[in-house]
Amino acid sequence: MNYKSALKIKKSTLLGLLVPGIAIYLFIIIVPLCLSFYYSLTDWTGGPIKHFIGFDNYHELLGDSLFWKSFKNNMTIVFLTLVIQMGLAFLLTVLFMSKAMRMKEFHRTVIFFPVVLSAVVVGFIWQMMYSNDYGILNAVLRSLGMGDAIQAWLDDPKIVIYSVAAPLIWQYLGIPLIIFQSAVQGISKEIYETCELDGCTGIRKALYITFPLIFDTIKVVIMLSIASNMLVFSHIYVLTGGGPGTSSMVLAQYAYNTSFTSMRLGYGSTVTMGIFVLSFGLVLIFKKLAEVKQR
């Protein structure tokens, strides 16, 4: 067998391995996206498509105050997640690097365990915790003599978006933690040993050694976090359904209500396209900002 024949066989093998993955990606991502754009150009209400209305739905979307309010709520959740969840994940990563830390595997398992739970289950658990009548959160505050801190956590429009963000931060804390730890394990121990010999320990080692060396990994995790939190739905649906009023409405919830409650599937498809454009745009903006900072 000559070199060209071997190369052809390798190419055909590679193509055979790629085809199933590409087919699945096209079926799950590209085809629904194209169909959503197609339906967004219509006034579809669930039956036969009667009229193509061009970009009228997009004109309506630009002036839709509830859509932009939902986007603001999503951005609040994204911000809280990036600041609190990523910050905690990095601090825990530094803590797990410490030789004084005991039972590391146990703590890592406990932190990661909520990730495998259903979002619906987590939503119901936190709904019971927040309950005004029998919720453990208010009960603990009452037992500590902090009656002034007791709140209607899911009924107060001023704080509800922060209340629904807490379960998201708690449940998925294990994901950035595991990724950060994997990145840290790829750093040569000699670097840390040299750093310690120069007197760089503790928080200085974390900020000047660990953080710069895993910065590329942090960027990827942040982009994934932005994309996933722009699509948050199950927690909000179980906890508040977007209420009270529309104070905790998020984009995915708004798209669901528009499509399956109001039966405006054409406009609901437009909302989903808006979610796609905004999510993609945010990821691109962050990527560009991170590249500028890195230079």
As beta bridge partners, residue 42 has 52
pLDDT (tens, 9 = 90+) of the chain, 295 residues, equals 555 555 565 777 878 888 888 999 999 989 999 999 999 999 988 888 778 999 999 999 999 999 999 999 999 999 999 999 999 999 999 888 877 778 888 989 999 999 999 999 999 999 999 988 788 998 998 888 887 888 889 999 999 999 999 999 999 999 999 999 999 988 888 888 787 777 777 778 888 888 888 999 999 999 999 999 999 999 999 999 998 999 999 999 999 999 999 999 999 999 999 999 999 999 999 988 887 766 6
Say if domain 49-294 classifies as CATH 3.50.50.60. no
52 beta partners: 42
CA–CA gap between residue 215 and residue 161 (Å, rounded):
29
Burial class of residue 117 (count of CB atoms within 10 Å of its CB; 0-12, 13-18, 19+): exposed
pTM of the model: 0.90
Would you call the peptide bond into 176 cis, given omega within 30 degrees of 0 as the criterion?
A: no
Q: Provide the residue ranges of all domains of the chain, joining segments of one domain with +.
A: 49-294
CA 225 to chain centre: 4
Distance separating the N- and C-terminal Cα atoms of the chain:
49
Contact 114, 170 (CB under 8 A): yes
For the stretch 233-236, contacts whose Cβ atoms lie closer than 8 Å and that sit 24 or more positions apart, written own/partner, are 234/119, 234/120, 234/123, 235/119, 235/122, 235/123, 235/126, 235/164, 235/167, 235/168, 235/171, 236/164
Task: Judge contact between 235 and 248, C-beta under 8 A.
Answer: no
So what's the pLDDT on residue 190? 84
Q: What letter does residue 52 receive in the DSSP assignment?
A: B
**Could you give the residue ranges of the DSSP H alpha helices within 26-85?**
31-40, 56-62, 65-80
**Alpha-carbon Rg of the chain, whole angstroms?**
24
Q: How many angstroms from the chain centroid is the CA of residue 143?
A: 34
59, 68, 165, 265, 276 from 63: Cα distances, Å? 7, 9, 27, 18, 18
CB atoms within 10 A of CB 269: 23
Other C-beta atoms within 10 Å of 294: how many?
10
Residue 170 neighbours by CB under 8 Å, 6+ apart: 114, 122
User: Distance (Å, rounded) from C-alpha 142 to C-alpha 136?
Assistant: 10
Q: Are 54 and 270 in contact (CB under 8 A)?
A: no
